[in-house]
Amino acid sequence: MSSSSTDAARQRLSALREAMREHAIDAWWLPSSDPHNSEYLPAHWGGRAWLSGFDGSVGTLVVTQDRAGLWVDSRYWVQVEAQLAGSGIELMKLHPGQGDAPIDWLAEQLPAGASLGFDAQVVSLANARRLDEKLSAADIRLRSDLDLLDAIWPDRPALPEAPLYAHDPAYLDESRAERLARVRDRMAEHDADWHPISTLDDIAWLTQLRGDDVDFNPVFLAHLLLGRESATLFVAPGKLDDTLTQALADDGIRVAPYADWTAQLAALPDAARVLVDPARLTLGTREALPGTADLIEAYQPSTLLKGRKSENDLKHVRQAMEEDGAALCEFFAWLEAALERGETVTELTVDEQLTGARAARHGFVSRSFSTIAAFNANGALPHYHATPEAHSTIEGNGLLLIDSGGQYPGGTTDITRVVPVGEISAAQREDYTLVLKGTIGLSRSHFPRGIPSAQLDAIARAPLWRTGRDYGHGTGHGVGYFLNVHEGPQVIAWQAPTAPHTAMQPGMITSIEPGVYRPGQWGIRIENLVANRPAVESEFGDFLYFETLTLCPIDTRCIEPSLLDASEIDWLDAYHAEVSERLAPKLEGEALAWLEKRTQPLARQQK
């Protein structure tokens, strides 16, 4: 952290502590969240990053009068150490299974009778209950009626004002009314009269609208109150034109100001039966509902419905993957040629060239997340981000990891590839091949329909575990359909809790991305997106398999062939044959030649 950044962080901490004293608050809880429980936040709710200087996507900041700690998992440890140096904020390493660590720390740090403050509008009902459960036992009171950031953040960004637009109906196979009806059917199963929804991707999916309020994700700030016979979309005035407003009205959706959300919840009947998902609604939303309302707690129906892509959706996703794969071929052909010519290529250049290649493809809207282009030691940081002030030049020998993705009206992409630069070592080849074995092993798996997604994790880790290797992140996350690059309900990670809604169902799109990270040396991750597809039906039940959706060669120059068995080589050769067949018609010249070279059978490429 620079001296100016250090000074700013210390000054902001001091201002927060002064505000805490004014309100008799002994500790302040600041998560990475907003009123919609988002992962990627509009700048207005980026208070944790503004206050601490840590710009990663996940972390919990806790401040007392004499200490401050930032809890993050292993993906961010090196980054946090660098960005918090000299700030007065301590790195608190969060290990798997230690989600309550910051709460336990507070219980130890604060005396009986102390108070913990937080903004009820940005803390989920589930997390607020967890705080209350553990801290009340230590006689620590909760204060949730304040947003202290407003008092100390003089230039706090305003809420975004970008207009909304309709998802092109050419990419849809059901109407807005049909989607609302499907959620109402689930409400009826719970005998619920009302269902408040705040998660932005669910609202975008239900309304078939898109926006530009959150970087990389085509969503917009809104709440939706769904009744058995009515629906109200709460969105800032001016974001909807008359045509869209009328289209919503035709499907029974009334439009109200975004700021009216809590007031209209409070106006529901006292005996209203309200379906809520405590993990997806904030404490502030719950507090706005009538105290006498009958809460019916269940997993949010639209999240599971949205996660299961239709046959029509998958058709368009395959087309988007072809466009994306062609762009990647154009980029990698350029990269190899530029390095061979001795041109200066940096991690920033990689992002620029790759984004430019995608922008030239049909339908490209934006990146789906900030590109990770990480050379050698930077690759050991799973969420590394090059900046003009701190980045590496691609030169000498080593491994270049590139994790990137695009948004298209027909799908969202997310892919990681690692390529060699100059000469690479036997140790790097071994790591790479073991990661590849994990990717292949899970990619070709068959499994029972309804299996909890977390239980598949060990398949990808097995080749690494056998040799004493592992990685700190999950193996797979759900991916949206022209929506968030991270979505639920499924997640492939042994640390994740199992629940009925995490069951693997047909149509879900998930990443497969095992890795190995050696701090200060290199990082390797090989990622494809896959779709759950019906496999066989038997007296033992229904089974699914993964259809690999991502189309881009896996660099065989990094492979140690002796570590792959014949079936793994067959999978790789078959994958490359499909990549070649589907991408070749979209390429010409150097990019086509590159594709043909990089998709040859492994035995031929190793000669």
The pLDDT assigned to 427 comes to 98
pLDDT score of 210 more than 90: yes
User: Could you read off the pLDDT of 382-392 as tens digits, one per residue?
Assistant: 888 888 988 99
Residue that wins the pLDDT comparison between 93 and 206: 206
Last residue of a domain, one of 152, 175, 200: 152
290 and 387 in one domain? Answer: no
Mean pLDDT along residues 18-34? 95
172 and 146 in one domain? Answer: no
Mean pLDDT along residues 280-302? 96
Give residue 564's pLDDT band: very low, low, confident or very high (50, 70, 90): very high
The SS3 call for residue 538 is: strand
330 and 283 in one domain? Answer: no
Q: How many CB atoms lie within 10 A of CB 27?
A: 23
Alpha helical stretches, state H, 64-199: 77-84, 101-109, 125-136, 149-152, 176-189
509 is a domain residue = yes
The pLDDT assigned to 584 comes to 98
242 and 180 in one domain? Answer: yes
User: Could you read off the pLDDT of 221-260 as tens digits, one per residue?
Assistant: 999 999 999 999 999 999 999 999 999 999 999 999 999 9
pLDDT score of 607 more than 60: no
287 and 201 in one domain? Answer: yes
Who contacts 371 (Cβ-Cβ below 8 Å, separation ≥6)?
350, 351, 354, 355, 402, 403, 404
Give residue 2's pLDDT band: very low, low, confident or very high (50, 70, 90): low
Burial 163-196 (b: 16+ CB within 10 A, else e): ebeebeeebbeeebeebbeebbebbeeeebbbbb
Give residue 606's pLDDT band: very low, low, confident or very high (50, 70, 90): low
Give residue 605's pLDDT band: very low, low, confident or very high (50, 70, 90): low
83 and 117 in one domain? Answer: yes
The pLDDT assigned to 485 comes to 97
485 and 347 in one domain? Answer: yes
CA 557 to chain centre: 30
pLDDT score of 445 more than 80: yes
The pLDDT assigned to 5 comes to 67
- Does pTM top 0.85 for this prediction? yes
For β-strands 446-448 and 476-478, DSSP reports them as unpaired
159 is a domain residue = no
Last residue of a domain, one of 236, 268, 303: 303
158 is a domain residue = no
Mean pLDDT along residues 266-280? 96
12 is a domain residue = yes
Last residue of a domain, one of 280, 303, 326: 303
Number of domains, the chain? 3
478 and 338 in one domain? Answer: yes
User: Which residues form the domain of 85?
Assistant: 3-152
